[in-house]
Structures are given as C-alpha cells and as structure tokens.
Chains A and B, each alone.
Chain A
Amino acid sequence: MDSHATTHSAHQDFEIPFNVHARPDTGLYNAKLGIWLFLASEVMLFGALFSSLIVIRTAAPHWPRGWEELNVPLATLNTFVLIASSVTVVLAWANLRLGNLKLGKIFIGLTLFCGLIFMVVKAFEYGSKFAHHHYPSTNNFFATYFVLTGLHGLHVLGGMIVFAYFLTWGSKMWFTERARFTNRIEVVGLYWHFVDLVWIFLFPTLYLL
C-alpha cells in the first residue's frame, strides 16, 4: 500500500488509505468518490421533485406562465450571481493548487458573498409573495415554487456554512496537510457546482415556462 497515500486523524492511530492521493486503479481519492456518490443521490432527490411538478402541472386545469406570478428580472440576476459563484469557487481551487492561500481564501470569500446575495434576493422574493398573500397553500403553482426553491435554498445555505468554516477554522489544515485541504475545496466545489446546476434547470422551469 502506498505510504504517501495515507493520512493521520486526531482520534485514530492508524491511517485510512487513499484519503489524499488517488488509488491507482480507480484514479480517485476517497472524498472525491464520496461526493460524486452523494451528488448522484441529490440528482434523484431533485428528480423526484421535478417529476412531481410534471405530474401536478399536467393534470392541472389551469397553470399560470412563470412571469405572471414571479419576478423574472430578479431571478435572472440570481442566476448570474450563482454562475459567478461557480467560477469563483473553481478559481479558489486553482489558486490553492498554485500554492496561493491568500488568493484562494479571497475567492472562497467571494463565493460565500455571492451565496449571500442569492439568499438575500430570495428572501426579498419570498417576502414579496407573502405580502401579496401568496403562500404555499394558495395553490399548487406556489406550493411547487416554494418547495423547489426552498429546498434549493437550503442547499445553498448548507454550502455557505461549509465555505464559512473553510474560511476560518478549516483553513488551519493548509499548514499541516496542504494537499488534503486543497482536496476539500475541490470536493465542496463539486457540491457547489451541483447546486448551481440545479438552479440552471430550476430557473427556466419555474420562471420561464
């Protein structure tokens, strides 16, 4: 077994193989395989919700066009914001690979900031709906809108919490296990890209159809 390929952990005296460097035959390190498997399950989660939307909309006698009820310009802005955050996170990872922690952290911070903008705009959208007495219980258009964007929003929030961690206490690992820290940013980046990917499909489905 490759002695370079292992790591130490605070509570264990032994090493888990392939935690940092790839296993030769699969070409992957553990966390990368893990995150892709998790993302596969997330595809099925959002898939079930999209499937539900199709079912409910097909059977509905009347269904408004997205822009009749929702704010398209705001959501378009949010789309740009999320795409930008995908760029910043991958630039963070690239800079860490170049050995530049400072730039890496700046880009992580920018990603976090974009996430914050997204959530603030979302909060504004939701507030506006509630002010017009449009709730999830009003009709199924709003029920599906709130549940789909709500679950997506929770995923954005989750990602933001992880970025905040890596910006603060988490970054200590750069000084003890640099490769492992870089890998962690790659892995959370993959998760973040997926969240962006879901929005890329969610935005037109809810707002433009």
Chain B
Amino acid sequence: MPPKRQLRVGRDWMYPGQAKKLLSDAIKADKEEQQQHLLEGHHQHWIRRYVFSTDHKWIGIQYGITALFFLLFGFGLMLLMRLQLGWPGKSFEIMKVLGETRAPGGILLPEAYNQLGAMHGTIMVFLAIVPLAVGAFGNYVVPLQIGAPDMAFPKLNMVSYWCYLPGGLVMLASFAVPGGAANSGWTSYPPLSVIATQGQTWWILGMVLLITSSLLGSVNFLVTIIQLRAKGLTWSRLPFFVWAQFVTAFLLLLAFPPLEAAAVMQLMDRVAHTNFFLPSGLVISGQILGNAGGGNPLLWQHLFWFLAHPEVYVLILPGLGIIAEVLANNTRKPLWGYRSMVGAIIFLGFMSFVVWAHHMFMTGMGTTISAFFQTTTMIISIPSVIILSAFFISLWGASIRFTTPMLFALAFLPMFGIGGLTGLPLGLSAADIHLHDTYYVIGHFHYVVAPGTIFAMFAGIYYWFPKITGRQMNEKLGKIHFWGSFVAINCIFFPMFAQGLAGVSRRLYDGGEQYAHAKHMALATNPFMSVAAFTLLVFQLPFIFNFFKSMKWGERVDSNPWGATTLEWAAASSPPLGHGNFEVVPTVYRGPYEYSVPGHATDFSPQNEPDVAPPPPSSGILPATAVAQKEG
C-alpha cells in the first residue's frame, strides 16, 4: 500500500508537486511540438530534414553555405597567386600550406602556380558563382516569388544538390593526388590537358557530376516557372528576377550537354588512349608520342566554348535579376522599361549561343566564319546596353534609399558598364590580335564577375537575409564591407587593362617580369594590385562576422521590412512556413513593381493585394462641387 498523499499518475505513484511539474512539462512539450510542426513542417528524421531535404528553402541554404565556402576557397587560391605575382620568386610562410612539392621553402613553383590558376577559375565559375546565383538564390526565392509551395520536382532538387557537393569534393580532393590538381587552365585545352597529370582526370569527373547537377536543376526551374505560377501571375507580371532565372535555366539546359560530350571524349583520350583531340605526329619533350592520331584540338575548343560562352551569361543574368529587385525596391518606383528588359534578356539568351568562337579568333579560322562571330558578338552587346540603360534610367526621379543592398546595386551599374565596354575591343577580331590572352581579358571578365556579379550576390544576401532568417544584418558593418570592397576591387582589376595593353600575357608565373617590353608595367602595378587583394580580404571580415552574428542576434523583423511588392515579401512570413510556404496561397492582381502608385495609402502596392473597389460612376462633377451645388 503506497504512503498517503501520493497521487496515481498512469502506472506510477508520485507527490502532487511532481505530478504538477510532469503535467506542465507535457503541456510545454506539446505546445513546442505544435509550434515546430507549424513552422518547420512534418516531423522527419534529421537526416531526411536537414541532409537529404526536399524543401527548396533548405536546399537553397545548403547551396548557399556550400557556395560561399567555395567562394572563400577560390579567393584564397587567388591570394596565393597574387603573392607570387606581386613578389615573384619570394618565399612566404603562408605558401608552405601547399606543401614541399608545390612550394619548396615557401617559394611557389611554376607548375603549382598553374594548378592555382586552373582551380581558381574552375572553382569560382562552377562551384561558387553559379551554385550561389542559381542554386541558392534561385532555389530559395523563385518558388516564393511565383506563389508556389515548392519546386515542381522536390526530390530532383535534392538530387541536384547531392551531385553538386560530391562534384565539389572531387575537385578539392584533386589537390591531394600525385601531380596535384588540374593545371591546364579552367579551359583544359588539349593536347596539354590530355597529357597532364592525374588531377585532370579528377577535374573531368568532377565536371561530369557538376553538369549533371546543373541539368537536373535547369529542368526543375523551367517546369516550376512555367507550371507553378500562382493564379493571376501572368508572364507580364513576373518579377524580373524570375525572368532572369528562366532564361538562365534555358542556357544551362541546352549549352551544357556539348561540354559533357567533350568531357567524356577528353576522359577517353586520357584513360582509353583515344585520339579525339590528339593530332598525329605530336612531339612532347623531344619524344614522338606515337599515337594513332587523327584528332583535332580545335574540336575541344569549339565544344568547350559552345558551353562556356552561354556560361558567362549564366554568371551575369541572375545578378541582373537581383539588381532589378533591389533597385525597384530602393527607388520606390517601378523599373523603367520592364518590357524592353524582358525582350532584351530573351534576345540575349538566344544570341549567347551563336557567339562562342570569338574566344577562338587566334586559332586560324577563315574570314567568313570570323566575320560571322564578330558580327554576332557586336549584336549581343545591344541587349546588355538596353538592360543597363533601363537600370540607369530607373534612378531618374527616384527617392533613393541608400541601404546596403542598394549601395552594392548602385555600384554594380558602372562596374558592369566597364566590364561590358571592355568586352567590345575583344569582340573585334582585329583588336583582339593585340589583346587576346593578355591581362586585358582578365580585367574585362573580372570586372563583370567580381564587382559585377559578386556585388549583385552581396546585394542579394543583404536584401533577402531578413526573409530567410527573420533578422536584419547590421547596416554599419554592411557599409564598411561595401566601401572597402568597392575601392579595393577596383584597385585590383583596373590596372589589368593597362597591363594588357602593354602586352603582359595571362597565365604567367612571374606576372610579366621577364618580358622586356612589359617589365616596367608589370613591376609598377603587380605589387600594388596584390596589396589591394589582401585589403579586399580584410574588408570581407566585417561581412563574415555580420553574417553569422546577425543569424543569432540580428534585429528581428516582420515579414516585409523593406516594404517590397513581390510575393516572397508580401505573402510569406520571415522565414516562410515549412509547410508549402504560404498560410494562404496568394493570388496576383498587379505587376511586380507597383511602387508609389498615386492615391495609394502606402508607397508600395503588393502583388497579392486585391484591387480596391472602383469608384462609383462619375457625373463629371468633383465631389466638392457637388456638395457646394447641393448647399448652394
């Protein structure tokens, strides 16, 4: 018989105090479970929920964190290169991380410099920028902006990420194999790439995984945007960001397969000793190769650039989309020329498939084919100019809010302008004779990608951080990040135009120091640029600190802190519901940038806000007149 004053709870006996505590604990646990259920969705095992997630939002975050890591890693590779370029042949302690085979006594070897160069390019293009722009921003924002509960194929989305990560790991692992990582440039031209060390095979295998990830992803994006737009969201009401992702997905879908084919052929050349890209009579280090021959290195170049040119538009288009959103939001007025911009971006996507051989002007192509590609290249500059001009004109008469995302967006405009303009002499085959394979080219494309796309990525991070986390990033730190990066990045890349014009070739281990005609230019500029590169690193620290700190301690915000009109802000909480994104599936009534509509109570009209009832039929008399007439 139990002692008195104890209560029976289930099969146990306990004192009233214990029973009370048990009850309140149970109520608390149930409430928390309900709350979690509401916010985070169906209760799943953590592996299903966080590792092999099929939720586009979490997959977007996976892509984002992974891509930012690769961005930092690729940046690190470049910093090591810039140490060598600024002070050729000098010993650095930090260089010793590369090991004795690559940097004996802390002095970088030329072969190792080539590894750094090839992998910096590969990692930045394929593992950092595209996964961030498309995999992270695209995945997270597009379904929300079109009012969809998720992507069309959530499981396929998960497979895409899980092809990307292994692809990236294979690329990283290649540093550790005998002979080191790929060292034949991100362009992997044969015959060099075919006879290169083991790392090149790893590069090819990594690329196959990345291309697979990309193809699956592009199918998903296209079907999602075409099929899952909410009621009322017609093509002409689509946010420009979604249009940009749509065209990007088409580029990825149709341009990547030729590179996949070429990668398979190069793999066969390396491993099965075929001769797709190897001509007969090859002599390597004084020895005849003795292969069957009959192949053509130019075939690789055609197939590679058939992808790689649309790829550079893949690099910029999502960035243009982000800039459009940030500009509209921070000017508090509709974007100027929305229809022209949409037409231009579609035309740009189409043209990007027919310009590739402007990367091959120096390969001895005939005059007809050269003239064709020069013409198409000149034509493709037109839609870019239309879009950039529309952005500039959108600033006219605007009430600009100089928030951190807006600062990055504003800086993007002239930076992209410089990048685009410097592409023109490269696209003219005559001028290209002088500039091809010089630092002018490096300056050109870095302007478009670094103060271009990467600035757009930063703008996107600061802009959408409140939506993803429910907290705001610190504005002061943001401004420090911006101004420091803006100055430093120009100091790195602007002198490259001068170097290129002076004849400093790219991919030189000593940065041009040995060339008599370019020696002065190289020696004058390289150390300065290298110091600027390290300065750029220093100014990323406030960003990294801000990013992580704000996740936990940032100022909490409501669902629409920027006062934006697009659906991800207007119809979803911050962060959005785990269960299908929206409490109420939105219906769209108006275009994406209805800011400062006359007569509206606030300076923004969300896309899902129903129309106010129209005023009763007017007699043509003003209300005040009618009142006066009645009285008088």
Residues of A within 8 A of B (CB): 1, 9, 11-19, 23, 26, 28, 30, 33-34, 37-38, 40-42, 44-49, 51-52, 55-56, 59-60, 135-140, 143, 147, 151
Residue contact B262 to A33, C-beta cutoff 8 Å = no
B42 partner residues in chain A, CB cutoff 8 A: 11-13
**B179 sits at the interface (CB 8 A):** no
Residues of B within 8 A of A (CB): 41-42, 44, 48, 54, 148-150, 152-154, 215, 218-220, 222-223, 226-228, 231, 253-258, 260-262, 264-265, 268, 272-276, 291-292, 294-296, 299, 302-303, 306, 579-580, 585
Nearest CB in chain A to that of B53: its residue: A11
Residue contact B150 to A16, C-beta cutoff 8 Å = yes
What are 14 sample pairs from A and B whose C-beta atoms fall under 8 A apart? A13-B42, A19-B152, A33-B223, A33-B226, A33-B227, A34-B152, A34-B223, A38-B215, A38-B219, A41-B254, A45-B257, A56-B299, A143-B276, A147-B274
Residue contact B215 to A41, C-beta cutoff 8 Å = yes
Which residue of B223, B258, B296, B302 is within 8 Å of A56 (Cβ)? B296
Which residue of B149, B258, B296 is within 8 Å of A48 (Cβ)? B258
How many Å lie between the Cα of A49 and that of B303 in the bound state? 10
Residue contact B299 to A55, C-beta cutoff 8 Å = yes
Residue contact A30 to B153, C-beta cutoff 8 Å = yes
Return A112 CB to nearest CB of chain B, in Å.
24
Return B179 CB to nearest CB of chain A, in Å.
22
8 smallest beta-carbon distances between A and B, as pairs: A14-B580, A48-B258, A45-B257, A48-B261, A137-B273, A143-B274, A44-B257, A140-B294
Known: A13-B41, A47-B257. 6 other contacts (CB 8 A): A17-B149, A30-B223, A44-B257, A46-B261, A136-B273, A143-B274
Return A173 CB to nearest CB of chain B, in Å.
14
How many Å lie between the Cα of A34 and that of B260 in the bound state? 20
How many Å lie between the Cα of A33 and that of B254 in the bound state? 15
Return B90 CB to nearest CB of chain A, in Å.
45
Return A39 CB to nearest CB of chain B, in Å.
10
B228 partner residues in chain A, CB cutoff 8 A: 16-18
Return A158 CB to nearest CB of chain B, in Å.
12
How many Å lie between the Cα of A203 and that of B226 in the bound state? 36
How many Å lie between the Cα of A16 and that of B152 in the bound state? 7
Residue contact A139 to B257, C-beta cutoff 8 Å = no
Which residue of A33, A41, A46, A138 is within 8 Å of B256 (Cβ)? A41
B44 partner residues in chain A, CB cutoff 8 A: 11
Nearest CB in chain B to that of A141: its residue: B294
Nearest CB in chain A to that of B37: its residue: A13
Return A133 CB to nearest CB of chain B, in Å.
13
Nearest CB in chain B to that of A135: its residue: B272
Which residue of A51, A60, A136 is within 8 Å of B294 (Cβ)? A60
Return B171 CB to nearest CB of chain A, in Å.
22
Residue contact A147 to B265, C-beta cutoff 8 Å = yes
Residue contact A12 to B54, C-beta cutoff 8 Å = yes
Q: By CB atoms of chain A within 10 A, which of B256, B294, B296 has the most?
A: B294
Nearest CB in chain B to that of A38: its residue: B219
Residue contact B254 to A15, C-beta cutoff 8 Å = no
Given A48-B261, A140-B274, A147-B274, is A34 in contact with B153 using a C-beta cutoff of 8 Å?
yes
Nearest CB in chain B to that of A57: its residue: B294
Return B351 CB to nearest CB of chain A, in Å.
17
Residue contact B261 to A52, C-beta cutoff 8 Å = yes
Residue contact A147 to B268, C-beta cutoff 8 Å = yes
Residue contact A56 to B274, C-beta cutoff 8 Å = no
B302 partner residues in chain A, CB cutoff 8 A: 51, 55
A59 partner residues in chain B, CB cutoff 8 A: 294, 296
Residue contact B296 to A55, C-beta cutoff 8 Å = yes
A17 partner residues in chain B, CB cutoff 8 A: 148-149, 227-228
Residue contact A48 to B272, C-beta cutoff 8 Å = no
Given A41-B254, A147-B268, is A49 in contact with B261 using a C-beta cutoff of 8 Å?
yes
Residue contact A14 to B579, C-beta cutoff 8 Å = yes
Residue contact B264 to A147, C-beta cutoff 8 Å = yes
Residue contact A143 to B275, C-beta cutoff 8 Å = yes
How many Å lie between the Cα of A37 and that of B274 in the bound state? 32
Return B211 CB to nearest CB of chain A, in Å.
10
Return A9 CB to nearest CB of chain B, in Å.
8
Residue contact B227 to A45, C-beta cutoff 8 Å = no
B154 partner residues in chain A, CB cutoff 8 A: 9, 11-12, 16
Nearest CB in chain B to that of A52: its residue: B299
Return A197 CB to nearest CB of chain B, in Å.
16
Nearest CB in chain B to that of A55: its residue: B299
Given A11-B48, A41-B215, A56-B299, is A23 in contact with B579 using a C-beta cutoff of 8 Å?
no
Return A140 CB to nearest CB of chain B, in Å.
4
Residue contact A136 to B223, C-beta cutoff 8 Å = no
Return A191 CB to nearest CB of chain B, in Å.
13
Return B569 CB to nearest CB of chain A, in Å.
21
Residue contact B276 to A140, C-beta cutoff 8 Å = yes
B231 partner residues in chain A, CB cutoff 8 A: 1
Return A129 CB to nearest CB of chain B, in Å.
13
A151 partner residues in chain B, CB cutoff 8 A: 264
Residue contact B292 to A137, C-beta cutoff 8 Å = yes
Residue contact A23 to B264, C-beta cutoff 8 Å = no
Nearest CB in chain A to that of B252: its residue: A41
How many Å lie between the Cα of A48 and that of B585 in the bound state? 43
A26 partner residues in chain B, CB cutoff 8 A: 226-227
Return B189 CB to nearest CB of chain A, in Å.
16
Nearest CB in chain A to that of B149: its residue: A14
Residue contact A52 to B219, C-beta cutoff 8 Å = no
How many Å lie between the Cα of A42 and that of B254 in the bound state? 9
How many Å lie between the Cα of A47 and that of B5 in the bound state? 85
Nearest CB in chain B to that of A151: its residue: B264
Residue contact A136 to B227, C-beta cutoff 8 Å = no
How many Å lie between the Cα of A51 and that of B306 in the bound state? 12
Nearest CB in chain B to that of A35: its residue: B219
Nearest CB in chain A to that of B42: its residue: A13
Residue contact B257 to A42, C-beta cutoff 8 Å = yes
How many Å lie between the Cα of A33 and that of B255 in the bound state? 19
How many Å lie between the Cα of A40 and that of B256 in the bound state? 12
B579 partner residues in chain A, CB cutoff 8 A: 13-14
B299 partner residues in chain A, CB cutoff 8 A: 52, 55-56
Return A26 CB to nearest CB of chain B, in Å.
6
B152 partner residues in chain A, CB cutoff 8 A: 16, 19, 30, 34
How many Å lie between the Cα of A138 and that of B274 in the bound state? 7
A49 partner residues in chain B, CB cutoff 8 A: 261
Nearest CB in chain A to that of B306: its residue: A48
A136 partner residues in chain B, CB cutoff 8 A: 268, 272-274
How many Å lie between the Cα of A112 and that of B148 in the bound state? 37
Nearest CB in chain B to that of A60: its residue: B294
Return A165 CB to nearest CB of chain B, in Å.
14
Residue contact A45 to B296, C-beta cutoff 8 Å = no
How many Å lie between the Cα of A137 and that of B295 in the bound state? 11
B275 partner residues in chain A, CB cutoff 8 A: 137, 139-140, 143
Return A194 CB to nearest CB of chain B, in Å.
13
Return B311 CB to nearest CB of chain A, in Å.
14
How many Å lie between the Cα of A134 and that of B610 in the bound state? 72
Q: By CB atoms of chain A within 10 A, which of B54, B149, B218, B274 has the most?
A: B274
B294 partner residues in chain A, CB cutoff 8 A: 56, 59-60, 139-140
